[in-house]
Structure 1
Amino acid sequence: MSKLYNWRNFWIFWGGGLALFGYLILSNGALETLVAPNGILDHQSAATAERVNAIQESWASAGALAMARWGMIADLVFITLYMSGGIIGGRLIWQRANSPTLKKVGLLCVLSYFVFGLTDYIETVCQLIQLVNEQGSDILAGTAALAKPVKVASWIVGTVAMIAALIWRWSETRA
């Protein structure tokens, strides 16, 4: 097995991803405006160029456009960390667990974190292109809005499965 796949790297990547996610949640307040009361979440859901333009204009008026750019770049780092950690942890559980069911949960983690990463990259890159160009695009906004529900579902499944698998694996190794 590659030297990448070890518990130390899992905790660095997965834990680092969770820590960065916490930071992103806390910093979202700077992007909340009357047009985008949910901050970046409204930009993710904006399915039209018109809506993206309105949100970005509200951020520009609030002096938060640079914060939005840095937030999206930080989001790309978060995606990389959290997805990598989830895949590493899922693979470790999949290959090292004693229980056949726990092995399947590990495989579920690998697949969920892969789908999460893929869809979140698509969504965030579409957003970032529109933000850098300071111009909405119906195609990019629509693509980001389509990717969001799949991203959210795979994030929930992966996170819940990973927590359950870690607890199960911990109890399995203690026995």
Structure 2
Amino acid sequence: MISRKRFLLVWLGGLAAFGVAIWLHGPLAIPSVPGGIMEHQTAATAARVDFIQAEWAQAGVYRAALTAMLSDIAFIVLYGLGSLLGGLYFLQRGMRAIGWLLSILAVVFFATDMTETVLEVMQLAVGRGDDTKAAIAAAMQYPKIAGWTACLVLPIVGLLLERRAAPTA
């Protein structure tokens, strides 16, 4: 049985981890790579990854990039798990549509963002891009964003509907 408290604790913990990850990504936005981590995530070729990583090294933020990407993994796990717990919570409350949709999209978010991030970390760890890894990581961008957005909106909608359906005293 999934408690409301457990779902909210993990899901909100995931949102807090997202805030930390955004803060850690800040130094990666440099004049030659103004999009920071987003440019690395969408770099679909080894040449582009190599350029970004070389610029980060020259700017002295290469290690910060690794730290930021590893913080992404913590965020992905917490937010993905929290969203899945939310889906299961809503299912057990009889809110089938939101429950199933949130559960499925939590898995989509987790799978796509984790794939993207692991492939990015692999390229960063060896200090060079790989065309296949870069292309796969870049392809994860749109489904990841869709999953992330749904995992933000659906729990809020579910909580509002739950509150609205609660009997008044």
Instruction: Tell me if TM exceeds 0.5.
Output: yes
Structure 1-normalised TM-score?
A: 0.91
Residue identity opposite 1:10 in structure 2: F
Q: Which residue of 2 aligns with 1:65?
A: 62
Asked if 1:34 corresponds to 2:31, the answer is: yes
Q: Which residue of 1 aligns with 2:165?
A: 172
| 1:123-142 to 2 correspondences below 5 Å | 123-142=116-135
Q: Which runs of 5+ in 1 are unaligned?
A: none
Among 44, 48, 51, the alignment partner of 1:47 is: 44
Residue identity opposite 1:103 in structure 2: R
Shift of 1:111: 0.6
Shift of 1:13: 1.2
Shift of 1:161: 1.4
Q: 1:65-120, CA deviations, whole angstroms, 9 ceiling, x for partnerless residues? A: 111111111100100000100010111111113xxxx3211111111111000000
Q: Which runs of 5+ in 2 are unaligned?
A: none
Asked if 1:160 corresponds to 2:157, the answer is: no
Instruction: Detail structure 1 runs of 4+ shifted over 4 Å in the superposition.
Output: none
Corresponding pairs, count:
168
Residue identity opposite 1:93 in structure 2: F
* d(CA) in 2 for partners of 1:63, 1:156: 33
Among 119, 138, 162, the alignment partner of 1:145 is: 138
Residue identity opposite 1:15 in structure 2: L
Q: Which residue of 2 aligns with 1:19?
A: 16
Asked if 1:105 corresponds to 2:102, the answer is: no
Asked if structure 2 preserves the Cα contact closer than 8 Å seen for 1:35 and 1:54, the reply is no
Over the aligned positions, Cα root-mean-square deviation in angstroms equals: 1.2
Shift of 1:6: 1.8
Shift of 1:174: 4.2
Counterpart of 2:129 in 1: which secondary structure? Answer: coil
* d(CA) in 2 for partners of 1:75, 1:160: 20
Residue identity opposite 1:71 in structure 2: A
Q: Which residue of 2 aligns with 1:86?
A: 83
